[in-house]
Amino acid sequence: MAGSSFGTIFKITTWGESHGKALGVIVDGCPAGLALSESDVQAYLDRRKPGTSALTTQRKEDDLVEILSGVFEGKTTGTPISMIVRNTSQISADYSDVASYYRPGHADYTFDQKYGFRDYRGGGRSSGRETIGRVAAGAIASKLLSALGITVKAYTKSIGPIEIDPANYDEALRLTTPTCMPDAIANEKAVAHLAKAREEMDSVGGCMECVVDGLPAGIGDPVFEKLDANLAKAIMSIGAVKAVEIGDGVLVSKKKGSENNDAFLSGTGTGSPAITKATNHAGGILGGISDGSQIVLRAHVKPTPSIYQKQRTVNQSGEEIEIQIKGRHDPIIVPRAVVVMECMTAITILDAMLVGASSKLTTLKDIYRR
**Contacts with a second copy in 143-162 (CB under 8 A)?**
144, 147-149, 158, 160-161
Euclidean distance between CA atoms 303 and 301, whole angstroms: 7
SS3 339: helix
The answer to whether 358 contacts a second copy (rule: CB under 8 A) is yes
Using the minimum distance from each CB to a second copy, give the nearer residue, 172 or 294. 294
The answer to whether 74 contacts a second copy (rule: CB under 8 A) is no
H/E stretch holding 286 reads strand 285-286
Stretch that binds a second copy, among 37-45, 57-65, 109-117, 169-177 (CB under 8 A): 109-117
Burial class of residue 281, CB neighbours in 10 A (0-12, 13-18, 19+):
middle
The answer to whether 115 contacts a second copy (rule: CB under 8 A) is yes
Interface map 173-202 toward a second copy (x if CB under 8 A)? ------------------------x----x
Strands 295-301 and 206-213: antiparallel
The residues with which 156 forms a beta bridge, in sequence order, are 208
To the nearest whole angstrom, how small is the minimum distance from the Cβ of residue 162 to a second copy? 10
Stretch that binds a second copy, among 54-62, 165-173, 184-192, 239-247 (CB under 8 A): 239-247
Contact, 204 vs 194, CB < 8 A? yes
Out of 61, 130, 183, 342, name the contact with a second copy by CB under 8 A. Answer: 130
Interface map 6-35 toward a second copy (x if CB under 8 A)? xxxxxx-xxxxx--xxxxx-x-xx-xxxx-
The answer to whether 165 contacts a second copy (rule: CB under 8 A) is no
To the nearest whole angstrom, how small is the minimum distance from the Cβ of residue 306 to a second copy? 8
The answer to whether 98 contacts a second copy (rule: CB under 8 A) is no
SS3 253: helix
Kindly provide the b/e burial profile for residues 250-263, where b requires at least 16 CB atoms within 10 angstroms of the residue's own CB.
eebeeeeeeeeebe
Stretch that binds a second copy, among 43-51, 110-118, 172-180, 184-192 (CB under 8 A): 110-118
Supply the Cα-derived Rg of the chain in whole angstroms: 22
Residues in region 337-356 near a second copy by CB under 8 A: 353-356
Out of 72, 151, 213, 326, name the contact with a second copy by CB under 8 A. Answer: 72
Using the minimum distance from each CB to a second copy, give the nearer residue, 172 or 224. 224
Supply the DSSP symbol for 35.
B
Give 126's contacts (C-beta < 8 A, 6+ positions apart): 106, 107, 111, 239
Out of 141, 207, 210, 211, name the contact with a second copy by CB under 8 A. Answer: 207
The answer to whether 93 contacts a second copy (rule: CB under 8 A) is no
Stretch that binds a second copy, among 41-49, 167-175, 178-186, 225-233 (CB under 8 A): 225-233
Where residue 292 falls (left for φ over 0; alpha for ψ -120 to 50; beta otherwise) is left
Residues in region 274-303 near a second copy by CB under 8 A: 274-275, 278, 282-283, 285-292, 300-303
The answer to whether 245 contacts a second copy (rule: CB under 8 A) is yes
To the nearest whole angstrom, how small is the minimum distance from the Cβ of residue 247 to a second copy? 6
DSSP sequence for 194-218: HHHHHHTT--B-EEEEEEEESPPTT
C-beta atoms surrounding 355 within 10 Å: 19
H/E stretch holding 44 reads helix 38-48
Q: What are phi and psi of 278, to 5 degrees?
A: -65, -35
Residues in region 250-269 near a second copy by CB under 8 A: 250-266
Euclidean distance between CA atoms 169 and 187, whole angstroms: 11
The answer to whether 117 contacts a second copy (rule: CB under 8 A) is yes
